Each structure stands twice: as C-alpha cells, then as structure tokens.
C-alpha cells in the first residue's frame, strides 16, 4: 500500500511549553494549502497532556522516554513513557500507520537562531541535514549519543529510520512569538522543499558542510546546596555558535569574580542558558566546529525511505 511508504511525521509540542510548532501545525490545519508537503504527511502534538498544562512534561521529559528498555517495560506507567509507546505504536516504522521520517520541532530560550540537530550521526540523518543546511543556511549540531548513559538517550527521532530536530530560539516558554513562528516556518518550508527535491531526483548533496560536533556540556558553578552561583559572562556579545577560546571569560560568579574557560582547545558553545536544562545540570554545551563531506550513501538511504 502506497501510504505505508515515504510518509513524514511532523511533531510539535514534544515539550508542552514550547508552543511555536503546535501553533504552526494548528495554522496548517486551519488553512488548507499552507506548508503543502510533497509527500503524505501526518502532524501531531507530541505531549498533548503537557501542552494542555503548558508544562515541559508531566512526569518525565518525553524526549528521553524512547529507549528500548522503557518502551518494552509494560510495568512502567510514567505518563510520558505511555505516550512514547502510543506514538511508536501509531506512527512508528512498524506501527499501525507507519511513517519512515520524522521531524521533531522545538524551541529554546537560548539565542541560537534556527538550527538543525541530528541525534547521533546516522548517514540518512546527516544527508537530510546537509540538504536542509544547504537550502536554508542554518547551522548543524551533531549531538552525540552517550551509550554509557541510556537514561540520557531515548530521543524521539531515534525511533524512526530517519529523523531531524529543529531548534529555534530565543523564545520564552509558554508563548507564541511571531518572529519565532516565522523562523520556524522558513525552516519547515526548507525541509519540505528538500524532500520534494529528493522525490523529483533533483536533490544533490553539497560537497562539504560545516557541522558542530557535541563535545561536552558544562553545568553552572554551584554551592554546596546546589544553588547556581554564576551566570554567563557578559563580556561576550553572542554566546551560541561563536568561538570560545581557552582563557576567554566564561562565568561571572555571584562574587563578581570571572571564571575563564579552562579547556585546551577552542570550542563553539550552543544551548547557552536553555531554561529547561538547569535541572539537567547543563548551563551550555560545547561543540567542535568541523567541515565534513556528507555521506553519499546517506542520501541513498534517504531516497530509499522516500520511495514507495
């Protein structure tokens, strides 16, 4: 059956207080023809209960619930794990209504502009990211899966054969800000256009692409009670995507003291001051900027997933 192939799942509201993507999906539903997709496309709210409550999640971050172990453990009744199972059973590649590609749309309070994130470095994800990067011009963040800490994994996109994350910021949680809507819409148009190019055989990988490989995350300096005792240093006009050299100002302590970056090589920070990451012990993430050749076989896999 044709509908079992090459379908795209567009997800907004995986975090219930990130309201930009749900708003775009709502407008798309109200305006037939808006953001027309070149392939059969289903839209859904990732975490409707958290979205209703305007909270990131109810029991647990949904975007950490898609591990094999959690999905399999039927005794686990965490609301987000149940929801993850629902999504996989409904739209997963082996589900009732199977989809092969997924786009998970997020926002951040970090001043990152628009970016595309791959979780791990699967060839098809990299090829799709390269095409979107080429079409829309936004930076690519290659997030590294830490297999030693499966509880930190469990990302939604990993349950589909191919999936990307869009991140747009800065925007406060809980609001629909038109500028962020417009930036996210532009990215989504790029994603859809790229898939159209794939279907018509016009897609051509760029020879090289600039990527930002995840190296590590840094927590805020904290006192014995776990209280944050520093903020990002004000001497940098922009934090995200700009080089942080050894010895550069990093944190401004509550005492007024400056803490400099002690690493041995230049890094590029991302997700600086993401509001939800305080509880995860992340003040910012560090990446290494790199130029790579997008994998040609990744494009073949992607084209294969799009074919009926």
Interacting residue ranges for a second copy, rule: CB under 8 A:
23, 26-27, 29-31, 34, 54, 109, 170-179, 181-182, 227-229, 231-234, 252-256, 273-276, 278-279
163 phi/psi in degrees, rounded to 5: -160, 145
State the chain's maximal CA–CA distance in angstroms: 66
Please give the helix or strand (H or E) that residue 45 lies within, else none.
strand 41-45
Considering beta carbons, is residue 25 or 130 the nearer one to a second copy? 25
Considering beta carbons, is residue 94 or 256 the nearer one to a second copy? 256
CB of 278 to a second copy, least distance (A): 7
CB of 14 to a second copy, least distance (A): 18
Positive or negative, the CA dihedral 251, 61, 162, 307 is negative
Considering beta carbons, is residue 58 or 177 the nearer one to a second copy? 177
Residue 200, Cβ density class (10 Å: 0-12 exposed, 13-18 middle, ≥19 buried): exposed
CB of 82 to a second copy, least distance (A): 23
Separation of alpha carbons 189 and 37, rounded Å: 9
The answer to whether the beta carbons of residues 16 and 49 sit under 8 Å apart is: yes
C-alpha distances (whole Å) from 68 to each of 155, 174, 230 are 11, 31, 37
CB of 215 to a second copy, least distance (A): 23
CB of 296 to a second copy, least distance (A): 41
Considering beta carbons, is residue 24 or 126 the nearer one to a second copy? 24
Considering beta carbons, is residue 177 or 292 the nearer one to a second copy? 177
């Amino acid at each position: 059956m044709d509908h079992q192939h090459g379908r795209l799942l567009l997800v907004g509201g995986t975090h219930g207080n990130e309201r930009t993507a749900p708003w775009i999906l709502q407008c798309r539903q109200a305006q037939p023809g808006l953001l027309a997709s070149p392939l059969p496309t289903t839209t859904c709210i990732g975490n409707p209960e958290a979205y209703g409550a305007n909270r990131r999640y109810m029991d647990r971050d949904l975007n950490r619930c898609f591990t094999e172990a959690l999905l399999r453990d039927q005794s686990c009744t965490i609301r987000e794990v149940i929801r993850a199972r629902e999504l996989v059973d409904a739209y997963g590649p082996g589900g009732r209504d199977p989809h092969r590609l997924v786009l998970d749309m997020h926002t951040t309070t970090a001043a990152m502009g628009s970016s595309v994130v791959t979780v791990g470095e699967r060839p098809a994800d990299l090829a799709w990211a390269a095409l979107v990067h080429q079409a829309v011009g936004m930076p690519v963040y290659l997030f590294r899966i830490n297999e030693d800490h499966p509880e930190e994994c469990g990302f939604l996109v990993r349950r589909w054969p191919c999936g990307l994350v869009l991140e747009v910021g800065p925007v406060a949680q809980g609001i629909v800000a038109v500028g962020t809507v417009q930036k996210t819409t532009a990215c989504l148009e790029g994603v859809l256009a790229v898939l159209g190019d794939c279907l018509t055989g016009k897609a051509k990988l760029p020879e090289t692409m600039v990527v930002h490989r995840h190296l590590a995350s840094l927590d805020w300096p904290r006192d014995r009670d776990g209280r944050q005792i520093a903020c990002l240093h004000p001497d940098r006009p922009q934090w995200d995507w700009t080089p942080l050299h050894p010895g550069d100002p990093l944190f401004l302590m509550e005492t007024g003291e400056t803490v400099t970056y002690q690493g041995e090589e230049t890094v590029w920070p991302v997700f600086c001051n993401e509001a939800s990451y305080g509880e995860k012990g992340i003040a910012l993430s560090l990446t290494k900027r790199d130029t790579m050749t997008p994998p040609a076989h990744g494009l073949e896999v992607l084209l294969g997933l799009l074919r009926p």
